[in-house]
Copies of this chain bind each other. A is one copy, B any other.
């Protein structure tokens, strides 16, 4: 290695540079971006923060009339695709609409039970919200209705203060009020362009959370599947298992046998559809078939008299209005707000993620903030018409997509089917056994446990894996909300830690080029004697300026320790600032202090390729302009080295 340094130096002294160094010797100026006022900058920053998708772009240069039309189309996407709707599309939508209806009816009843609500509320919630979404939503594949996780969350959070068995009316009122707040919150997030809040749920967090929630949900179904009557009110793994094994006397073998059969049937159907996506209708139809079959069996065998619990009598008729049931004051307002907030975020996350997934598959775009408004309005309207929280469900949307849905009309078809059910078919559910609902829920949530994704996370990022485990075990052992909060907290902590401890790497020259790269990554890269070249890889701010100071001094100490071996004094400290995307006042001070310290050591501080913002701030600060003198500022590391190299006096080398 040493030979190489000296060779380079020798080359230089002979005047025999290689051509690229020659070219690099044409020094290029580092420019400042065109001046903008603070107001312009602020405007730009706000735009990038809140309107990264530039929603007003399409309005530019249009006539007033056209602008109004576009605005209406923007608010009601149905006006966009409605006029082009035709019979072919309708055929596809009817098929897919009926398919998801066959899934939505049994799932609606099951999820309502999961939320400790009357089963019929699940059907109400599959009637009104899909209609609202069809008008406002921009996804073509989203199948709207109640979902497992949000149902679980709402049920478990409200049960902390009110018992659904002792005071079912109050519980129902709180559920509607929570739904109202969830919708209000979702719509506000979209309206205030704060949609990035849901981005804080990383893939790892969601994976762990979903898997944990799936297990909690499945455990709850043991009540129905084993026929236990005195089941714990708690959710955690430990209390549920203890409740199960302390009530072995209540286990009903009729229930267990029948439940096991239907569970196996549903799981096999699910497995078939996974293996052959074309057979999506197998898993889509299986729940309804199970409901019909099990109801028939119970009806014929009068099994309800042999310890098999059934849903019982259900009301007939469409959603009654419920705005008089919303509670905006009273002792439970805190709980209701909290429940609304958490279920709102979680169901929004699911809805947006589902929308984005299928939009990417079909190469159209969904506007996150607009979707939030759509989902929010849908829940606000829902809360006044006896619906609890709904969103786009992943499993049903997948079926919708596979069944060939073309537009949101499939949601309307589904809604109409549910309406017919509500009006005429409710008595048929009287003898439907609870165990089949349990089996349907277990089959639905089992897909939330994604082992391959967990393995991927383990392979790619160990820290993310830890976050995932925290979410998973937090949900299972502590509580659903706290597990989630824990995982989000850890993710943000990691992010902050990344800012306080940015990477600094030593660059070396890739021989024969004017390229400088990380010496650790590129084994060929060589140091230039007399130069220490560092790349700083984060914005320099109050959170890391002290650290960077210490870290750079340590790099210099490292250099000096090698120096005694290589007999070359450190002359230049070159900082490659390409990756320093911003600085604050502490960052400016950092450069000033570093320069002073370097001067005392007889080392010149050279800056390379600062971005516009950094240039501007250093120019504005008093006493920092010196840092930007032509001798200390270069466009590339290569130009800096070749220019400064020529000014260096010869250092004593071992053979000279």
> Which A132-165 residues have C-beta < 8 A from chain B?
none
> Is A547 interfacial (CB 8 A cutoff)?
yes
> Is A612 interfacial (CB 8 A cutoff)?
yes
Closest CB in chain B relative to A380 CB, distance in Å: 25
> Which A562-595 residues have C-beta < 8 A from chain B?
578-579, 581-582, 584-586, 588-589, 593
Q: How far is the CA of A622 from the CA of B456 in the complex (A)?
A: 7
> Is A234 interfacial (CB 8 A cutoff)?
no
Q: Is the CB of B460 within 8 A of A585?
A: yes
Q: Is the CB of A499 within 8 A of B510?
A: no
Q: Is the CB of B460 within 8 A of A620?
A: yes
> Is A196 interfacial (CB 8 A cutoff)?
yes
Q: How far is the CA of A505 from the CA of B582 in the complex (A)?
A: 13
Closest CB in chain B relative to A638 CB, distance in Å: 9
**A23 in complex: contacting residue of B19, B196, B497, B542, CB < 8 Å:** B19
> Is A64 interfacial (CB 8 A cutoff)?
no
> Is A342 interfacial (CB 8 A cutoff)?
no
Write the A27-45 contact mask toward B (1 if CB under 8 angstroms, else 0). Answer: 0100111100010011000
CB-defined contacts of A631 to chain B, threshold 8 Å: none
Q: How far is the CA of A589 from the CA of B199 in the complex (A)?
A: 14
**A20 in complex: contacting residue of B23, B34, B204, B365, CB < 8 Å:** B23
Q: How far is the CA of A500 from the CA of B492 in the complex (A)?
A: 11
Q: Is the CB of B537 within 8 A of A579?
A: yes
**A502 in complex: contacting residue of B202, B550, B581, B600, CB < 8 Å:** B581
Q: Is the CB of B28 within 8 A of A585?
A: no
The total of chain A residues at the interface (CB under 8 A) is: 99
Q: When A360-B596, A584-B461, A621-B460 are in contact, do A31 and B542 touch as well, CB less than 8 Å?
A: no
Q: Is the CB of B635 within 8 A of A517?
A: yes
Closest CB in chain B relative to A536 CB, distance in Å: 9
Q: Is the CB of A499 within 8 A of B503?
A: no
CB-defined contacts of A621 to chain B, threshold 8 Å: 456, 459-460
Q: Is the CB of A199 within 8 A of B498?
A: no
> Is A551 interfacial (CB 8 A cutoff)?
yes
Closest chain B residue to A28 by CB distance?
Answer: B510
Q: Is the CB of B550 within 8 A of A52?
A: yes
Q: When A52-B547, A502-B581 are in contact, do A542 and B491 touch as well, CB less than 8 Å?
A: yes
Q: Is the CB of A550 within 8 A of B53?
A: yes
Stretch of A285-293, A519-527, A646-654 contacting B (4+ beta carbons < 8 Å): A519-527
Q: Which 7 A-B residue pairings sit nearest by Cβ, starting from the closest? A: A202-B542, A579-B579, A537-B581, A521-B612, A33-B521, A459-B620, A464-B585
CB-defined contacts of A459 to chain B, threshold 8 Å: 620-622
> Is A636 interfacial (CB 8 A cutoff)?
yes
Q: When A31-B523, A502-B581, A520-B612 are in contact, do A541 and B495 touch as well, CB less than 8 Å?
A: yes
> Is A597 interfacial (CB 8 A cutoff)?
yes
CB-defined contacts of A460 to chain B, threshold 8 Å: 584-585, 588, 617, 620-621
**A589 in complex: contacting residue of B203, B496, B609, CB < 8 Å:** B203
Closest CB in chain B relative to A491 CB, distance in Å: 7
> Is A249 interfacial (CB 8 A cutoff)?
no
Q: How far is the CA of A83 from the CA of B150 in the complex (A)?
A: 70
Q: Is the CB of B584 within 8 A of A500?
A: no
> Is A644 interfacial (CB 8 A cutoff)?
no
> Is A368 interfacial (CB 8 A cutoff)?
yes
Closest chain B residue to A581 by CB distance?
Answer: B537
Write the A612-624 contact mask toward B (1 if CB under 8 angstroms, else 0). Answer: 1001010011100
Q: Is the CB of A553 within 8 A of B597?
A: no
Q: When A554-B52, A582-B498 are in contact, do A199 and B28 touch as well, CB less than 8 Å?
A: no
Other A-B pairs beyond A202-B542, A356-B546, A456-B622, 4, CB < 8 Å: A38-B462, A202-B586, A460-B585, A491-B543
CB-defined contacts of A501 to chain B, threshold 8 Å: 48-49, 52, 196
Q: Is the CB of B582 within 8 A of A579?
A: no
Closest CB in chain B relative to A643 CB, distance in Å: 15
Closest chain B residue to A561 by CB distance?
Answer: B57
Q: Is the CB of A547 within 8 A of B596?
A: no
Q: When A365-B553, A495-B541, A611-B518 are in contact, do A464 and B635 touch as well, CB less than 8 Å?
A: no
**A611 in complex: contacting residue of B365, B521, B596, B600, CB < 8 Å:** B521
CB-defined contacts of A324 to chain B, threshold 8 Å: none
Closest chain B residue to A524 by CB distance?
Answer: B31
CB-defined contacts of A537 to chain B, threshold 8 Å: 579, 581, 611
**A585 in complex: contacting residue of B204, B503, B620, CB < 8 Å:** B204
Closest chain B residue to A513 by CB distance?
Answer: B28
> Is A328 interfacial (CB 8 A cutoff)?
no
CB-defined contacts of A492 to chain B, threshold 8 Å: 496
Q: Is the CB of A520 within 8 A of B578?
A: no
